[in-house]
Amino acid sequence: DTAVSQTPKYLVTQMGNDKSIKCEQNLGHDTMYWYKQDSKKFLKIMFSYNNKELIINETVPNRFSPKSPDKAHLNLHINSLELGDSAVYFCASSRRGTSGAQTSTDTQYFGPGTRLTVL
Amino acid sequence: GQNIDQPTEMTATEGAIVQINCTYQTSGFNGLFWYQQHAGEAPTFLSYNVLDGLEEKGRFSSFLSRSKGYSYLLLKELQMKDSASYLCAVRTFSGGYNKLIFGAGTRLAVHP
């Protein structure tokens, strides 16, 4: 039983195209995230949703638009793809998420990643 | 700004002990995590520290000193399967929300 799943696993596309990546978690978590891991392996947060509400939006180009139809799903749509968008995109989820100062672990669980290559 | 430093690469011998250090300068510190990431796979949770001291979990231990902005991950009885990247991540609390800031990771190679 996959906890956090993403589709597709690999995505190869031409510059200028529009593409979407889907993420689903069956952990019953309230919060979901999108991260980008570049060629230098730096894992950086892009967006976070808590119960379908956008709560973290880092300085990401507005060509990237996340959508959360329900708290178990978080999709990422990318318009007008550029070469620099090539990376691995990870979805993650956590139980209580990001609201309020916490001392509990509230671990983030990551999906398998989507390797996007823009040609 | 937020800054997390860890060595880029380390090598060690099977059966040995290795310590991976992480130093951080962040505001709103609210816990430190270590994740393991094998090549081509997702990061998986290893350990969490929010108070000073040592947390032990089988072959893995993690230490935190908040006053020094310092943590380390200790791996004992190294196995070949421990060859992976180890990511130090600081949870920061700001504007009512927490987020994880990751270091660039330390690539550990375990040799026979």
Residue-wise pLDDT tens digits, B82-102: 999 999 999 988 777 888 999
Which among B42, B45, B50 has the least Cβ separation from residue A112? B42
Write out chain A residues lying below 8 Å of B96, CB-based: 99-100
pLDDT for A52 equals 84
* Closest to A45 measured CA to CA, from A72, A74, A15, A2: A74
- Binding-face residues of B in 57-86 toward A, CB within 8 A: 85
Interface test with B, best of A9, A31, A41, A115 (most B CBs within 10 A): A41
Interface test with B, best of A35, A40, A98, A117 (most B CBs within 10 A): A98
C-alpha–C-alpha distance, residues A24 and A10, integer Å: 16
pLDDT for B94 equals 78
Q: What pLDDT band is residue A96 in, cutting at 50, 70 and 90?
A: confident
The answer to whether A63 and A76 have CB atoms below 8 angstroms apart is no
| Over residues B42-59, mean pLDDT | 94
